[in-house]
Amino acid sequence: MSILTCIFGWPLLAAVALVFVPRNYRVIIRAVALLATFVSMLLAVKMFCQFVPGHAGYQFEQQIPWVESLGISYHVGVDGLNVGLILMGAIVAFAAACCSFEIKSREKEFYILLLVMTGGILGAFASLDLFFFYFLHELALVPTFIMIGVWGRGERKNYATFQITLYLSVGALIALIGLIALYVQSGANTFDIPKLIEHVKTNPLAVTSQNIIFPLLLFGFGILVSLWPFHTWAPLGYASAPSPTAMLHAGVLKKFGLYGLIRVALPLLPQGIIAPVLPSTHFTRFLVHALPESAQLWLFSLGWLDLLALLCLGNILFVGWVAMRQKDLNLLIGNSSVAHMGFIFLGIASLNLIGLTGAVIIMIAHGFLAALTFGLSGYIYQQTGTLEMSKLGGLARKLPFIGTALLMAAMAGCGLPGFANFVGEVTVFFGAWKVFPLVTGLALWGALMIGALYMLRAMRNVLHGPLPEKWSGLSDATHVWCKLPYALLLTSLLVFGCFPRLLTEKITPDAEKIVNMARSEALAVGGTRVSRVQFGVPPNCVDARTLGFDRMKDGPLNPQAVSGVTPETTRETRVLHHIFVRALASNTILN
């Protein structure tokens, strides 16, 4: 049996065991939940330490056939992309279980749902079969809705429950349609991800199929991750959720969509990545005919990853501005969490080794950070009964440990060197600058100015200033069990921030494989391979264009287009009718 099976199996077995424990045995219920998540965390640490960087294939692999006629099997394994995510998820789950002492009603049901949530998402990260990959995520997602509705707080918790259920159900449905279409169109008759990748290498999906499936996965997974403008469910949902639920969902479950894009969409749909968002048809040309010619060329050459890079600015800038206006600490943290997703999307959109490595690092670092901030805000709420920043102030005097931890979390959110977030964001900026210099510059400004402004102002309002008389009786976290989850999450941020090689040496080899599959496969589809393409002007062609393409180093830079020519071939030059061709380095393939 693989250690991965034990990592996510322990929480699920504990959830089943709690069904048979009487609800008045509160100490036993809590002890079982803590023990199961603690064992899962220890196993994840052991797996992370035993992982061999650069090892060919997957490690700690286990595969058991299930429905052979459909190609469904229980298949788990890790490489550099998910080994850190599983470790992060297990640590956050244990921290969330430690913070669950705030739950005073229906404790048995809460801990069962928490354990199911934990086992589901850890299993989803470990799964190498698309069926279990999706099923286990849904197993983790459903408890989120119940926990917010039953144990949530605030006057708008019912609305928040309805909103988050609606958004995430729609996102999951869109992603499911994309995954089923991928299975059907591939013709591989298997849900096994490694086999799908090998099959697609020799039998790539039709370009038209990729052009449909990739947007489905992009927006389906994007809604699950709170991609702007489909993000409005997240801040209110997290503000209304009990602290352990917010810690697990914002820290761990939200990374499922990002992991799905990297693991499934990029390597399996390389042509869909570079497909134009607005295909050149008579209808679309009619819609934009009034625009300047340069604007038309830009619109028709805009690819899906280019669009993703633009949308990520909505996360970083727009949501950052919204965070500046918040008066509730949890709403501010929720908007900050959404804003940080923009940096991960930017790293994915860069489609190079540096950017993708940085994206995975931020996924791990943000998991620790989100869990830490929501856990600390939950402690403050339990002590004060409010998170309105105007009613707080001077809490660092009465809560020195909690105040220090919150201030350090704020510094990590601002990208201060020494924390893992800094490593990931800097890496993404270096990778994205080669591909999207303007977008990267704006994202950098948003990180340095907007992010620092709303976070530091919140710390001033909550921790400093005069202490209201009504908060004179607050008690700090003094017991070791109260300090443990926050200390554990802070230590994780500092360890990976000061020693980033612990992550990068594991992530880089497998991130490079994904980048090579996404980029080289995109170049390997089609007909003639040439190092320079020139579109000639046949005698019978009117208003034709002659364009030369020389290079493209690290990303989809300088997309150019040619249209309005008749399909002719003269002087060994292929002339294509109404298609748009990207300028790619040295070996360009014309379809």
Distance CA 123, CA 364 (A): 16
Specify whether 393 is located in the same domain as 418.
yes
Which of the listed residues 523, 551, 573 is the one where a domain comes to its end?
523
Give tens-digit pLDDT for 52-66: 888 888 999 999 999
Count of helices and strands (H, E) across the chain: 26, 8
Specify whether 429 is located in the same domain as 574.
no
Compute the C-alpha angle 195/363/34, nearest 5°. Answer: 95
Please name which of 533, 546, 545 lies closest in space to residue 572, comparing C-alpha atoms.
533
Domain tally for the chain? 2
Specify whether 547 is located in the same domain as 411.
no
Specify whether 363 is located in the same domain as 294.
yes
Q: Where does residue 579 rank: exposed (0-12), middle (13-18), buried (19+ CB within 10 A)?
A: middle
Specify whether 12 is located in the same domain as 111.
yes
Which of the listed residues 474, 498, 523 is the one where a domain comes to its end?
523
Residue 326 phi, psi dihedral angles, 5° rounding: -75, 145
Question: Residues near 445 by Cβ (< 8 Å), separated by ≥ 6?
Answer: none
Side-chain-facing half-sphere of 188: CA atoms under 13 Å: 25
Question: Residues near 12 by Cβ (< 8 Å), separated by ≥ 6?
Answer: 115, 116, 119, 120, 123
At residue 415, the 3 state secondary structure works out as coil
Domain that holds residue 587: 526-591
Residues of the chain with pLDDT under 70: 280-290, 296, 298, 520-591
Task: Say which DSSP state 55 is in.
Answer: -
Distance CA 485, CA 375 (A): 8
Give tens-digit pLDDT for 172-223: 999 999 999 999 988 888 999 999 988 888 888 888 888 899 999 999 999 9
Amino acid at 479: H
Please name which of 230, 232, 228 lies closest in space to residue 159, comparing C-alpha atoms.
232
Strand pairing report for 533-534 and 548-549:
antiparallel
Task: Tell me the whole-structure pTM to 2 decimals.
Answer: 0.84
Question: For residues 522 and 211, is the Cβ–Cβ distance under 8 A?
Answer: no
Specify whether 586 is located in the same domain as 542.
yes
Please name which of 127, 168, 123 lies closest in space to residue 144, comparing C-alpha atoms.
168
Task: Say which DSSP state 570 is in.
Answer: E
Position 100 scores a pLDDT of 87
Q: Where does residue 481 rank: exposed (0-12), middle (13-18), buried (19+ CB within 10 A)?
A: exposed
Handedness of CA 252, 258, 261, 266 (dihedral sign): negative
Q: What tokens were used for 114?
A: 């928490």
Specify whether 235 is located in the same domain as 378.
yes
Question: For residues 352 and 435, is the Cβ–Cβ distance under 8 A?
Answer: yes
Specify whether 557 is located in the same domain as 585.
yes
Position 558 scores a pLDDT of 39
Which of the listed residues 498, 523, 548 is the one where a domain comes to its end?
523
Specify whether 507 is located in the same domain as 580.
no
Specify whether 408 is located in the same domain as 534.
no
Amino acid at 445: W
Position 283 scores a pLDDT of 62
H or E stretch covering 67? strand 59-67
Q: What tokens were used for 382?
A: 């339990």
Does residue 229 have a cis bond before it (omega within 30 degrees)?
yes
Please name which of 271, 280, 345 lies closest in space to residue 306, comparing C-alpha atoms.
345
Question: Residues near 49 by Cβ (< 8 Å), separated by ≥ 6?
Answer: none
Task: Say which DSSP state 251 is in.
Answer: I
Q: Per-residue DSSP letters for 362-387?
A: HHHHHHHHHHHHHHHHHHHHHHHS--
Question: For residues 41 and 94, is the Cβ–Cβ distance under 8 A?
Answer: yes
Specify whether 536 is located in the same domain as 518.
no
Q: What tokens were used for 15?
A: 């959830």
Specify whether 446 is located in the same domain as 574.
no
